[in-house]
Chain A
Amino acid sequence: MTTLESLMNAPAPASAWVLAQDCAETGLDPEAIRAEMARRIGEMRASVERGLRSDARSITGMVGWNAKGLWDAPDVLGAPLLRRVQAYAMAVNEENARMGRIVAAPTAGSAGTIPGALLGVADHLGLPDERLVDPLILAAGVGKAISKRMFISGAAGGCQAEIGSSAAMAAAAVVELLGGSPRACVHAASLALMNTIGLVCDPVGGYVEVPCVSRNAFFAVHAVSAAQLALAQLESFIPPDEVVGAMASVGRLMPAELRETAEGGLAQTPTGLAVTARMEGREGESGMIELPMA
């Protein structure tokens, strides 16, 4: 079984080891996987570009204009990397909320974190998309190692399982992109996860919009931050697989109300309840949607 420990001790680059392991297990062709990952980077980039241009509202009207707003606003902090990473991440999740095409990574609700961190850093440094294929494979390998011990959905383990996993995957990918060792990649993932423990999944009205869209922006930056620490040789004191175990145990301890049921947290604020009531009104009393008969 692929663990973060085995990944940490793999020969560099970690992505080559992940690809070889996975293809041995599934019988898939490594070059076909690389070609498909290259295509998925193109899909991620297309969703970022559409998201940065559009300010159309989602069906609930809760999100849709934030990525464009941030991208068009002056960079008052003089922190172009920060703004780029956040805008890219929100662009993807706003596209997602308005029924646009995205790459689930690992889920649709957390789809902006990896493009935000990986494409954001690459564009900031002027690196071409070909360089992103191997880091993306490593991100997938980290996600797979996490999912062996823990579900990666907010409904199963809280938002730590969903966006925490995407941030861990993104952190490892950024470290590999910048030439870090397999050990540094895995410690970046671990640091990102450690700082996500206990995060509740409380979508307002049950929709993947609030706080999900802005949460992707925060966690894309979180991933880059973890990558920066690990590239400077900082390590997670708790061994990475133990961190995943702790996340799994916190997820199980968390009441169902805090795991994507919209029965706790932000979803139960007066505004959250008003959104739920408004959307239920739109769906009609009968709870049925009929297609016209042909």
Chain B
Amino acid sequence: MSLLDMIGPVMIGPSSSHTAGACRLGLVAHHLLGEAPRRAVIGLHASFAKTGRGHGTHLALVAGLLGYGPDDPRLPRAFEEAEAAGLSAEFRDVDLGDVHPNTAHIELHGAEQAVTVQGSSTGGGVIRVTEVQGLGVNFSGSNPTLLLRYADAVGMIARVASTVAADGVNIAALTCTREARGGQALLAIELDQALSPEALAFLNRWPDMNWVRPLPKLMDG
């Protein structure tokens, strides 16, 4: 939390938690998909489902999926922009259980790939991403974040960490979850700076690595 989070974000109204935060959740899915989005299925939980419509939560989520930030003047026209860009979106009211009342579950498909993201808008435009590709994570987008999916094996975290260190980048926080021992694992690393394209390409070339996505810094502070 920095001074720029207290006076900010610069955003399109009306609600920092229902609009700016929702847009940032959409942005996470946009960046993690890594290609043009074609179809989205968005589950809205509790307060997002109850009071989202009048607050532009639907517009903000679609704006984020298109890659627009919370201050983008196209946000109120996001549905028209989505149609022009070939993105269809379907909204459902869902019960995601014991999670923050402002939570969305996003399933986003492109021509080649698909991604699922679940996250909460916790107030003042701040978000917390809690699930990616069905596995638990915990990051806010206040740092550049690197997400990797690979087959669980001894030494993977150490190998990734040394690649990050060799790129001269410091690790701020790291979470790792796996489906089962030897199953698919998801590593989310919050970084002080974004990783170089060379380091990303290097990680992508590993045979046991099946998904590498850099997420840019999404918050002001």
Q: Would you call A108 and B3 a contact (CB within 8 A)?
A: no
Residues A1-50 near B (CB distance < 8 A): 18-19, 22, 25-28, 33, 36-37, 40, 43
A169's nearest neighbour on chain B, judged by CB, is B6
Q: Would you call A102 and B11 a contact (CB within 8 A)?
A: yes
- Residue pairs across A and B with CB atoms within 8 Å: the count is 159
Q: Which residues of B contact A103 (CB under 8 A)?
A: 7-11
Q: Which residues of B contact A106 (CB under 8 A)?
A: 6-7, 124
Q: Give the docked Cα–Cα distance between A103 and B124 (Å).
A: 11
Using a CB–CB cutoff of 8 Å, the interface residues on chain B facing chain A are: 1-4, 6-17, 19-20, 38, 47, 49-51, 53-56, 58-59, 62, 71, 73, 75-76, 79, 82-83, 85-93, 101, 123-125, 192, 220-221
Interface stretch (choices A150-158, A188-196, A246-254): A150-158
Given contacts A103-B8, A206-B51, 9 further A-B contacts (CB under 8 A): A99-B14, A103-B7, A104-B9, A106-B7, A109-B14, A156-B123, A169-B6, A279-B53, A293-B88
Instruction: List the 9 closest pairs (A to B, CB-CB), nearest first.
Output: A96-B13, A140-B3, A143-B6, A206-B51, A140-B6, A294-B86, A153-B123, A108-B16, A104-B16
A139 within 8 A of B: yes
A287's nearest neighbour on chain B, judged by CB, is B93
Q: Give the docked Cα–Cα distance between A59 and B51 (Å).
A: 13
Q: Give the docked Cα–Cα distance between A99 and B221 (Å).
A: 24
Partner of B71, one of A101, A144, A290: A101
Partner of B54, one of A104, A108, A155, A279: A279
Q: Give the docked Cα–Cα distance between A242 and B85 (Å).
A: 53
A22's nearest neighbour on chain B, judged by CB, is B3
Q: Give the docked Cα–Cα distance between A147 and B5 (Å).
A: 11
A107 within 8 A of B: yes
Partner of B88, one of A37, A137, A294: A294
Q: Would you call B76 and A33 a contact (CB within 8 A)?
A: no
Partner of A147, one of B6, B15, B75, B76: B6
